[in-house]
Structure 1
Amino acid sequence: MLTIGQLASYAGVTVRAVRHYHQIGLLPEPERDASGYRRYGATAVVALLKIRTLADAGVPLSEITALLDAGEDAFAAAIHRIDTRLSDEITRLETSRKQIAQLAAGNSGALPPEVLAYLDRLREIGTSEKLIAAERDGWILVAARWPDEIREWIPSKFAQLEDPRMVRLYHVLSELLEFDPDSEHDSDLIDERLREAADIMATLSEEAYASGELMSDDDTSDDLPFDLLDALADEAHPEAYRMRNLMRERGWTSWTRQERLNVDM
């Protein structure tokens, strides 16, 4: 016969937990013996071990009594449901661990592997980490709006990097992020690089427009993603608005949205 402390110790729970189980009617409370102590037998130990096992598995205490009182078939079915729920939880946690690992490595769990591979390719062509970080955040916005289409677009993005002009564009934009807008020394360089970047983007957009490679009207009918991309650029660099103005001068709505201001231009 065990005291409440011995019972709790054997089952690996606290005395407070045992008393709580008594209070809610989960574990029967024995009568006091002649010496005034409550003594617990082997049946109580087994019951407490079952309670602890079920509680550790995440079964609410309010459901444990019904499980303990259930017949063999009902108990087996309930245990199967619990096992399925735990399996789903393990899968969710494993996915979360992978996402955390990606974040720790500087990647975003909000992006599919195809986009992460594209970002790695940008590193290979000499794109700065600042620009890759900005590009990654932009892709997060795009992936949230077009989660199914994004994998279809990535091959064409890889193909674009075979064009030396696109590689040069990433180099120019990388340089822009390193310049100090408040520096008189960098002011002329910023102007020069902005114009060069706008010229490259306008030329590439013209060619894509002529070949029908731009996004369809259905894809571009939603203004919000493009507004967010523009806002993201503005928040990342104070000169971003100037790039939009330069693109408009060249006949395009912005540098994030390849849409002509006038199709007759």
Structure 2
Amino acid sequence: MSIPAFNPMTLPSNDNVNPYAFSVDLNGQWFTQKGKMIAYYGQIKFEALSAGPLDALVAAHFHSPLYAQDWVIAQGQGKLLLADRGFDVNSFDLDDGNLTVRAGNLLAFEPGLDLKQSIIPGFLTLIGTGRFVAASNGPVHFVEPPIRIDPQALLGWADCPSPCHHYDHSYMRGVMGMARQMFGVGGTSGEEHQFDFTGQGTVLMQSSEVVANEDTLLRDLEGQVGMLGAGGLQRLHQTIGQRLAAERER
């Protein structure tokens, strides 16, 4: 069986190569998450967001210092191939829109969009007009509120209010109740804890409960530790110890 080989002329332009890889026709600059570029053709270089000549671009479009170390700017001309560990990859176009997406699933976006840090831990918000590329564990489904979604299946939401946490009574019982109330996270099934969406808009849901990257959630939690005093840090230390002990007993 003959397998076709791609080259710069035959690769798609700003489209999927297959369900797991996306080809950006770069002619200028894109923000890309580190580790998501798998190959490129042409004259392209990658600069950290802290690079001096890019200060104006970063100041205008990237407003999440908590995640700045995870991103670079690809600039130049050529074909830029993006992928994420075999997850499905899709591109989305915003037209003067507002969309929030799980931080670990966002692979790249055009500078026409502004990136901001969502009030929901582990998520980032894109505002403006332009294209972005995101990964999902399985196909993406678009659903309308009102709806409750398992936290691990939630990919993002567009043009609707931020969700509320919905907890069943059984979730609030047990040794980790205090930590769950503080941070809205914890090991449990989707039947006990969901994100509750109301109002108008669109919710993006992936076809799996496997989260692509949990490091982003840890980054958000670490960012909140600085707001705790000595008493809060001590309580958090005790809670983490209890959680680790419970995990070891599984």
Q: TM-score range by the shorter chain?
A: under 0.3
Name whichever structure is richer in helix by fraction. 1
Which is greater in Rg? 1
Larger RCO, structure (CA 8 Å, separation 6 or more): 2
What TM-score does the superposition give when structure 2 sets the normalisation length? 0.25
What TM-score does the superposition give when structure 1 sets the normalisation length? 0.25
